[in-house]
Chain A
Amino acid sequence: MIQLEINKVCKNFGGLQVLKDVSLKVEGPELIGLIGPNGAGKTTLTNILDGVIKPTSGTVYLNGKRIDPLPPYKAAQAGVGRTFQVTRAFRRLTVLENLYVPALAMNPTARQRDFRKRAVEVLTFLTMEHLRNEYAQALSGGQQKLLELGRLLMLNPDIMILDEPFAGVHPKLMEIIYQYIYRVNEEGKAIIIISHDMETIFTLCRRLLVLNYGDLIADGDPEIVKKDPVVIEAYLGRDEEEQ
């Protein structure tokens, strides 16, 4: 069973403390939302899980293996997959080539043709099969988001961190992303969704984490969390007032 354990993780950038003793556990194929105002530390936490930055203190274990000292490629090999807030498709690679990158990186002795069937299946699921030979730069922003999700399917990690997967996406493509999340979750993957889209988070997630200026101020059932006065004060209330 997937087990992610974050223990008292702190991250300082100079004098600025971005994460303060953040601890949490993910057990099994959970579907988790991670919210918080800008600057709350969501992306920093993602970058620590992904190996892009190292925590100032604290540890991260995935399936019993410590992953916080690992470089990003080893964190990915250990089972952490992520998408980025701003889409980062390999623009001058074709759609198929984009999918081959993680598949080949995870399988050192395999060849491209070994993954062709799988890649076409992924593209069919994402309704992008007809675009397989196009360069990624020719795709719309929404399609590039789908392509990033497709790459994660080829990477086949234990835990996926999706950073703003719905931002700027047409409702029709959003529906595909919804299906993607449900299917991947049913297949046994843990998913952490970072989003400012509250409606989507409350619809999809069965557990909600709230970060506020580096503090994990809430962790639990979304229905309970959204009534938490601390959360309302820190994030939801202010957001509603702004709207």
Chain B
Amino acid sequence: MKKRIPHITGVLAVVFLLAFPFIYTRADYDFMMHLWITAFFYAILASSWSLLGGYAGQFSFGHMAFMAIGAYATGLFSNYVYLASAPTHVCTEFKLGDFYLVFLEPIGVTSTKLTCLDLAKQSWPVDVIVTQPSIVWGILLGILLGGVFGLLIGALVLRLRAAYLALLTIGFSEILRAAISAEIFITRGQAGLRLKPLFSNGLTIFGRTYSAIDKVPPYYLMLFLFLFCIAIMVWLVRSRFGLFIRSIREDEEAAAALAVNTVRYKILVFVITSMMAAAAGAVQAHYIGIITPNILILLQMSIVIAMAVIGGLESIVGAAVGAIIISFTLEFLRSSFTIGPVTVDMTIWRLVIFGLLLMLTLRFWRNGLIYPLLLWFSRAGAKQETVAKRLTDADPDGAGGPTEESV
């Protein structure tokens, strides 16, 4: 029964999350929904990073860069790509069935110049149809590009370990941030790239109609993306893939000597986790409605890693739960308070508390705070005595005594 507790808890948690938008009725409804959506976003990032860093031992600091690739890919797609039923003759365009796929030229942030599409519209008859492709295509493009960059970075860092891998991926992330900041003409730099809402025409589900700014549809979209990613990752870590990436983490040379194609699995884990980060980034970008290069600052990456570490580096579910708890905690700790003449500004001090928790976790609970609980339940029923004791009982001569490292 004890072994089943995590499963039962998991099912109850999913039921609670599915029901939450209908059972929560307090005045801060929109705020709470926003917190949940953001928590799911971070949970996807933290759990996919735990697959990369915790299971495969690839300590990458480039995870937020892949998230940003997904976000900017769909952002640029929804800003620059149109479908028209007639050729513009002035834009870059490709015929696509009955329509033309039209790419607008970048016109910068403050330019009042008309786009090539605006110019074309002036000479078109009124019956020419101009639409934008569904944002689903933008999100899919973001995921695909995340995977392509994951493949490239994965191949580039194949021979790098530990600090070198971390430094290279920080470099990649910073290059991307600098490039996005510099290409104001295309990305609008720090002014931010605006994106269409996830459901710009609203949505009707089971007879209930939701507007474009309603939080319920994005909540469910992010929840399903989160659950889908978790399901994929849990399946992966329980399969040969999980076994192989853990063996590579432990000893790459030994794994290769035992016929494991280490190159393939190292690249695969980069591609899979990059695609998940890109998917989360693309959906979140449409939900928030604007993206800036600040999503790539090192603090953001550090928060994701800290969430994974505190939840449990070697546990997909632990990292996800850790990310959700920390997302909420960081938000609730924003409220400043006064003790006598002193006012404590928690918008700053909350990060100090968070950092302290991270330090204590790394020092005293290296497997995180959530994972040991899951492990305790899942190993329930196992014999409690240590290997050393068992061997001593079986072999008083001490032939199989544990090594110093094993204790």
> Using a CB–CB distance below 8 Å, which chain A residues touch chain B?
50-52, 71-73, 76-77, 81-82, 84, 88-93, 97, 100-102, 104-106, 111-112, 130-131, 133-134, 137-144, 151, 155, 170-173
> Using a CB–CB distance below 8 Å, which chain B residues touch chain A?
240, 243-244, 246-247, 249-251, 253-263, 314, 382, 386-387, 390-391, 394-395, 397-403, 405-406
Residues of A within 8 A of B240 (CB): 104, 111-112
Residues of A within 8 A of B255 (CB): 90, 101
Do A105 and B258 contact each other (CB < 8 Å), given the known contacts A131-B387, A134-B387?
Answer: yes
- Listed by A's residue number, 18 A-B pairs whose Cβ atoms lie within 8 Å are A71-B263, A72-B253, A77-B259, A81-B258, A88-B251, A88-B253, A90-B246, A90-B247, A90-B254, A92-B314, A104-B240, A105-B258, A105-B261, A130-B390, A138-B387, A151-B258, A155-B258, A155-B259
Please indicate which of the listed interface residues B261, B382, B400 has the most CB atoms of chain A within 10 Å of its own CB.
B400
A172 near B261 with CB under 8 A, answer no
A140 near B402 with CB under 8 A, answer yes
Sample of 20 further A-B pairs with CB below 8 A, known A73-B262, A101-B255 = A50-B257, A73-B256, A84-B257, A90-B251, A92-B246, A93-B246, A101-B244, A102-B258, A102-B259, A105-B261, A130-B390, A133-B382, A138-B402, A140-B403, A140-B406, A155-B259, A170-B398, A171-B399, A172-B397, A172-B399
Nearest CB of chain B from residue A44's CB, rounded to whole Å: 15
Tell me the bound Cα distance from A72 to B248 in angstroms. 13
Q: Which residue of B lies closest to A108 (CB)?
A: B240
A76 near B256 with CB under 8 A, answer yes
Residues of A within 8 A of B386 (CB): 138
Tell me the bound Cα distance from A71 to B249 in angstroms. 19
Do A97 and B243 contact each other (CB < 8 Å), given the known contacts A90-B250, A133-B382?
Answer: yes
Do A101 and B247 contact each other (CB < 8 Å), given the known contacts A151-B258, A155-B259?
Answer: yes
Tell me the bound Cα distance from A71 to B261 in angstroms. 9
Nearest CB of chain A from residue B384's CB, rounded to whole Å: 13
Tell me the bound Cα distance from A97 to B240 in angstroms. 10
Residues of B within 8 A of A155 (CB): 258-259
A142 near B399 with CB under 8 A, answer yes
Please indicate which of the listed interface residues B254, B256, B259, B403 has the most CB atoms of chain A within 10 Å of its own CB.
B259
Closest 7 CB pairs of A and B: A105-B259, A72-B256, A76-B259, A102-B258, A90-B250, A172-B399, A88-B254
Q: Which residue of A lies closest to B238 (CB)?
A: A112
B260 near A140 with CB under 8 A, answer no
Tell me the bound Cα distance from A202 to B86 in angstroms. 87
Q: Which residue of A lies closest to B240 (CB)?
A: A104
A73 near B246 with CB under 8 A, answer no
Tell me the bound Cα distance from A155 to B398 in angstroms. 30
Nearest CB of chain B from residue A110's CB, rounded to whole Å: 9
Tell me the bound Cα distance from A92 to B247 in angstroms. 9
Residues of B within 8 A of A101 (CB): 243-244, 247, 255, 258, 260
> Which of A76, A97, A170 is within 8 Å of B399, CB to CB?
A170
A173 near B254 with CB under 8 A, answer no
B257 near A76 with CB under 8 A, answer yes
A105 near B399 with CB under 8 A, answer no
A73 near B260 with CB under 8 A, answer yes
> Which of A52, A81, A93, A106 is within 8 Å of B247, CB to CB?
A93
B405 near A137 with CB under 8 A, answer yes
B399 near A52 with CB under 8 A, answer no
> Which of A76, A81, A84, A139 is within 8 Å of B406, CB to CB?
A139
Tell me the bound Cα distance from A30 to B126 in angstroms. 87
Residues of A within 8 A of B400 (CB): 139-140, 142-143, 170, 173
Tell me the bound Cα distance from A77 to B258 in angstroms. 8
Nearest CB of chain B from residue A18's CB, rounded to whole Å: 18
Residues of A within 8 A of B261 (CB): 73, 105
Residues of A within 8 A of B244 (CB): 101, 104-105
